[in-house]
Amino acid sequence: MVVIGLGRFGRSLALELADEDTEVLGIDENPEVVQLLSGSLTHAVRADSTKEDALRQLAVHEFDRAVVAIGTDLEASILTASLLISFGIENVWAKATSEAHGRILTQLGVQHVVYPEHDMGQRVAHLVRGRMLDYI
């Protein structure tokens, strides 16, 4: 499994997978982030994921599962997702920060688009509602 972008979302995802004994290649362009996670993931590497050569050097095209966990930088998210799709990776997940972002990712051919902030908001609403029912 490749996780690209090791911000709060990508880091949490990568560490959880690594805890379950999944081999995880984590990629981030920020050397401090990579340094921080180097002991916890199978491999943590500094690279710009919008560069095809960089991804090929890391053999990303040979994986069958990858997650694009870059949100704020729309251009980096889209360019990275586009490369993963062009590699023919069977299962690509990507985080979207807005509906428009998600639509573009789907149009590129990303199989699984996730909206962490939106989904977590819904989950918390269910929890709050459940807690409110406890008092009725």
Binding residues for ligand ATP, per CB under 6 A? 5-10, 27-30, 33, 48-50, 70-73, 76
Quickly list DSSP for 67-124: EE---S-HHHHHHHHHHHHHTT-SEEEEE-SSHHHHHHHHHHT-SEEE-HHHHHHHHH
In whole angstroms, how close is the CB of 7 to ligand ATP at the nearest point? 3
In whole angstroms, how close is the CB of 46 to ligand ATP at the nearest point? 8
**123, 129, 131, 135 alpha-carbon torsion, rounded to 10°:** 180
In whole angstroms, how close is the CB of 26 to ligand ATP at the nearest point? 10
* Separation CA 126–CA 136 (nearest Å): 16
In whole angstroms, how close is the CB of 107 to ligand ATP at the nearest point? 20
Pick 12 or 135: Cβ nearer ligand ATP: 12
Pick 21 or 95: Cβ nearer ligand ATP: 95
Pick 8 or 103: Cβ nearer ligand ATP: 8
Pick 33 or 94: Cβ nearer ligand ATP: 33
Residues 6 or more apart whose Cβ sits within 8 Å of residue 98: none
